[in-house]
Structure 1
Amino acid sequence: MDSKQIRIVFMGTPEFAVPSLRALVEGGYNVVGVVTTPDKPAGRGQKLHESEVKIAARELGLPILQPEKLRAPEFLEALQAWQPELGIVIAFRMLPESVWALPRLGTFNLHASLLPQYRGAAPINRAIMNGETETGVTTFLLNHEIDKGAILAQERMPILPDDNVGTLYDKLMHAGTKLVTDTVDRIAAGDVAPIEQQHIDESTLRPAPKIFKEDCRIDWTQQGSAIVNHIRGLSPYPAAWTTLRREDGGEETTAKIFKARFEPTAHGAAPGTVESDCRTFVRAACADGWIALEELQIAGKKRLPVRDLLLGWRDVLQYRFGE
């Protein structure tokens, strides 16, 4: 079977999916149509916002479907009219069987982890937050359960000490692009032996649930390495945060922290205690040392390197981080 002749329907929404879509089209693969989310109002003016995948699909001259409901008869009829033979899903919604089972070769998903580890919505964040030193991308066949279909292919990648979710996102996005085209080629060649995700001790797995605001709060009673990993795994978005309150009982605010390093040392300071020379550094006490802050944003202010922030934050020693 010629991989370039397979009729592919591509489903995705955010930037993470775009390089794969472009690689398929530019590589001569037969993408017959794209499914993405409906336009949504966003911003102060509530103007309709198009998904990154829709913008790319339009530039590439591809037919586009934007169903509100994936089980709607009119959508299923339009999808079937494309006569897809293979479905590819990257960062889209959970699909009903009527969609993922429609192509005769099935539908595969690209996931930003080494499955079965880090199933869920936030695999890149959670891997860094948990201090992992390796991750990767996986293609797997969709079935009735989220991220539990048979594995087709994987590509491993180290997580470097200076990686954050932004840098790792970019690396995995491009590694995933190659894995997607390789998977299509292997399916066409009959060179895949799907590995079922069965008989796995679930207690050995780390999940990757969606990130909520409270998940981003920094716990200054933790060890320093865990706090730095927490910050890295949430930078630049949605960003780790902490309360910031005056020791004299004044008004409390919050701060987002984007970059920090751990300075291990014994001390008798309470967690969240601030030290600073008011010119070049600010650090906060944690369980086994200090967290030296390098880039942060106080609520209502700009995101700044700590040296620039201290030019206008003369009373920094009047504050403490956390509760």
Structure 2
Amino acid sequence: MAAGLLKTSSLSARTKLLPQMGLSPYNTSHGFFEEEVKKKLQQFTDGSVDLQKEDSGIGILTLNNPRKMNAFSGVMMLQLLEKVVELENWTEGKGLIVRGANNTFSSGSDLNAVKALGTPEDGVALCMFMQNTLTRFMRLPLISVALVQGWAVGGGAEVTTACDFRLMTPGSEIRFIHKEMGLIPSWGGTTRLIEIIGSRQALKVLTGAFKLDSEKALNIGLVDEVLQSSDETQSLKEAREWLQQFIKGPPEIIRALKKSVSSGRELRLEEALLTERDLVGTVWGGPANLEAVARKGKSSK
């Protein structure tokens, strides 16, 4: 009887864990038809989203459309989803740095795409597509950090909120300019911003369309640290060093910790506890655990 209950409970926990990676909030039951959206986005071809996976377990995701300050074209939105899927399957990965090419993070959406997708129906479909993509990104079992150089504006600012941490370089700026465009954040930015800085501060930031330099962003808790250098190469080196403190150890442990935190953030208490229990079962008695116990045992003699 007890074994049966445990088996059922484990299945329930694994089912609850599924939304943490690989699945999206919206599907056809919500009126979302992904293939139709993709066909429309393929028309806008500037730029690329590039992924470099290093032996250290750190990935570098680069938004690369410098001619338009790394604005997201339709193809870049599609490539971002492709890279997220690739990262979901990168079992050796532990950390991820998101940056923009040529010392600028991102100026948001490419206006050509915005103008062409001008109906409310288009706007809602694009909203669901990007919310799906960035939610899957947020649930990656990697410790992610946005390296904000230059401007992170509009949709670019929203992307930073999907990362676990944010670093800024001197002279950089984050700005949610949606109000000035006659819009609200549509890539999940409002929901994530509230989680990061609270509802009162989020309301000020969004309704004021404030220019948040590194000092202001640090003061309200939007960013975690201001780096020393604004140089593209040096700031990336600093970001790597900053991230290293959180990804020391075997990938399976880092990834399990991130999954546990994600479930605690998104699930009800009982479901999060069940998820944590199932994750314990994947690492307890594993190589890293046994090695650490043996090492501690030797040091105590």
- Structure scoring higher RCO (CA < 8 A, sep ≥ 6) equals 2
Higher strand share: 1
TM-score in terms of structure 1 length? 0.27
User: Given the two structures, how large is their TM-score scaled by the length of structure 2?
Assistant: 0.28
Query: Which structure features the higher share of helix residues?
Result: 2
